Amino acid sequence: MLYYIFQYLDKAFDVPGAGVFQYITFRSALAFILSLLIATIYGKKIINYLRNQQVGETVRELGLEGQTAKAGTPTMGGIIIILATLIPVLLLAKLNNIYIILLIVTTIWMGVIGFIDDYIKIFKKDKQGLKGIFKVIGQVGLGLIVGTVLYFSPDVTVRKDTLTSRVKIENNIKPADLEEKSTATTIPFLKNNEFDYAEVLSFMGDDYKDYAWLIFIPMVILIITAVSNGANLTDGIDGLAAGTSAISVLTLGLFTFVSGNIIFSDYLNIMYIPNSGEMTVYIAAFVGALVGFLWYNAYPASVFMGDTGSLTIGGIIAVIAIAIRKELMIPVVCGIFLAENLSVIIQVSYFKYTKKKFGEGRRIFLMSPLHHHYQKKGYHESRIVTRFWIVGILLAIFSLVSLKLR
C-alpha cells in the first residue's frame, strides 16, 4: 500500500525521498523493523488476551523434567507471527507480484489449518486435534494451488542464460527474449547444476515437456507437506522452532535476493528468476516476526506458537524454496527439520519392525522427535536449543557456500 502511495508521490509530484521506496533493500529493512516492533509490542497484548481466554497448552505427560509446569501456557501464538508478517507486507510489498500473492495465500491457508487444529485441542478438549487426514488434505490443497500457479502462470519465468551484457548487445538480444517457462531447478554443489523435472518424461516423445506438470505439481505437494510437518515436529521445546526457522528463512532470503537480481545472478552463474526479488520484502518481515516472537518464546516461554505457527512456518519456507528453484537445498537449509522428521520415522519404523519380529517393540532413540531424546539424556532445554541453533547456523553457511562451491 505504502509502496504505491510513494510511487505516485514520486512520479506525480517528485516528492523528495519518495523514490527510496523503489528499492527492495530499503523496503526489506523497513519491513523487518516494523514486523519486529509489531511482534514485540503487540505480541504482549495478544499473549494477555490468549491467557484471559484460557487458551492454554494442555501438556501431555512425557516424563520430562519441567514439562508439567508448562501446562496452561498460552498457545496459538502463531497468530503473532502471522499478523507481524502480513501487516508490513501489505504496507510495503508490491501486492500485484505473483510471488507475494502466493506467499500471502500460503500464510493464510496454513494459518487457518493450524488454527483449526489448535482450536479443537483447546476448546474441544481433543488432544489429537485436527485429524491427520484433514491436515494432509489441506497441505495437498495448498500444494495444488502453488504448483498450478508456478507452472501455468505467465508471470513465472526463469532465465538460465549467463551471457554477458556485451554479448547480448552485440547480438541484439533483449532480456525478455531470454525469459522462458521452465520446470528447471537447481542441484546444489554441482557445476552444471540445473535439472528439469520434465526430463523424467523424455521417454514420452518430442512433446514430453507439455506433460511436465505431472512431475512438477506432485513434487510441490510433497515438499510443502514434508516441510510443514517437519516444522510442526520441531516445535517441541521453548525457542527451538522459532530460532531454527529464522536461520533457515534468512538463508533463503539471501538466495532470493541474488536470484532476483540480474547482476548478482549473472556474477554467481545461477538461475535468474524475474520478479522474485520482491519476496525479499516478505522474507524480511517474516524473519522480524520470528525474532519478535522469540522474545516471548525463549525459555521459559510465555507463549507457544502451536500448530497455528508451526504449520504456517513450514508452508512458507517450502513455497519460498520452490519459487526460487532451491527446493533441493531444503535438506541442508532445513537440516534440523529433516533430523526431527527422520528421528520420528526411524523410531516408529524400528519399533514396528522389532515388535513384529521379536514380539516386543524396541527403540533407537530414548524418545522422538530428536530434541526429546536429548531431554531424556538430561540436557537442559536451553542447551539443546542453543546447540540446535549452532548446527542450524553451520548448515546455513554450508548452504550459502553452494553459490560458489561446485
Alpha-carbon gap, residue 333 to 208, rounded angstroms: 32
User: 358-405, pLDDT tens digit by residue?
Assistant: 989 999 999 999 999 999 999 999 999 999 999 999 999 999 999 888
Please report, in range form, the residues annotated as the binding site for Mg(2+): 232, 307
Contact 310, 244 (CB under 8 A): no
Contact 32, 40 (CB under 8 A): no
For residue 10, the model assigns a pLDDT of 81
Residue 350 lies in a domain: yes
For residue 239, the model assigns a pLDDT of 95
Max mean pLDDT among 100-114, 186-200, 254-268 falls in: 100-114
Please report, in range form, the residues annotated as the binding site: 232, 307
- Rounded to two decimals, the pTM is 0.93
For residue 63, the model assigns a pLDDT of 55
For residue 6, the model assigns a pLDDT of 83
Check pLDDT > 60 for residue 335: yes
The percent of residues above 70 in pLDDT, for the chain, comes to: 92
Alpha helices in 260-380 (DSSP H): 262-268, 279-297, 306-323, 330-333, 335-358, 370-376
Parent domain of 15: 2-401
Check pLDDT > 80 for residue 241: yes
Give the confidence band of 127 by pLDDT, cuts at 50, 70, 90. confident
Whats the size of the chain, residue-wise?
A: 406
For residue 73, the model assigns a pLDDT of 86
Residue 339 lies in a domain: yes
Alpha-carbon gap, residue 386 to 343, rounded angstroms: 19
Structure-model confidence comparison of residues 82 and 128, the more confident one = 82
Indicate the helix (H) or strand (E) that contains 305: none
Average of pLDDT values for 94-120?
Answer: 96
Average of pLDDT values for 112-118?
Answer: 96
Average of pLDDT values for 337-353?
Answer: 95
Average of pLDDT values for 91-99?
Answer: 96
C-alpha cell at 358: 521379536
Check pLDDT > 90 for residue 16: no
User: 208-240, pLDDT tens digit by residue?
Assistant: 888 999 999 999 999 999 999 999 999 989 999
For residue 138, the model assigns a pLDDT of 96
Check pLDDT > 50 for residue 166: no
C-alpha cell at 238: 521453548
For residue 123, the model assigns a pLDDT of 86
Looking at every residue in the chain, the average pLDDT score rounds to 90
User: 275-320, pLDDT tens digit by residue?
Assistant: 999 999 999 999 999 999 999 999 999 999 999 999 999 999 999 9
Check pLDDT > 90 for residue 331: yes
For residue 405, the model assigns a pLDDT of 80
User: 30-81, pLDDT tens digit by residue?
Assistant: 999 999 999 999 999 999 999 888 776 665 545 565 565 676 789 899 999 9
For residue 171, the model assigns a pLDDT of 56
User: In the 8-state DSSP scheme, what is residue 185?
Assistant: E
Residue 375 lies in a domain: yes
Give the confidence band of 169 by pLDDT, cuts at 50, 70, 90. very low
Q: At which residue does the C-alpha cell 545461477 appear?
A: 270
Identity of residue 375: Q
Contact 320, 103 (CB under 8 A): yes
Q: Return the SS3 of 272.
A: strand
Q: Which of 57, 55, 52 is nearest to 68 (CA)?
A: 57
User: 128-147, pLDDT tens digit by residue?
Assistant: 889 989 999 999 999 999 99
Residue 220 lies in a domain: yes
Residue 406 lies in a domain: no
Residue 49: count other Cβ atoms within 10 Å of its Cβ. 12
For residue 66, the model assigns a pLDDT of 55
Domain count, the chain: 1
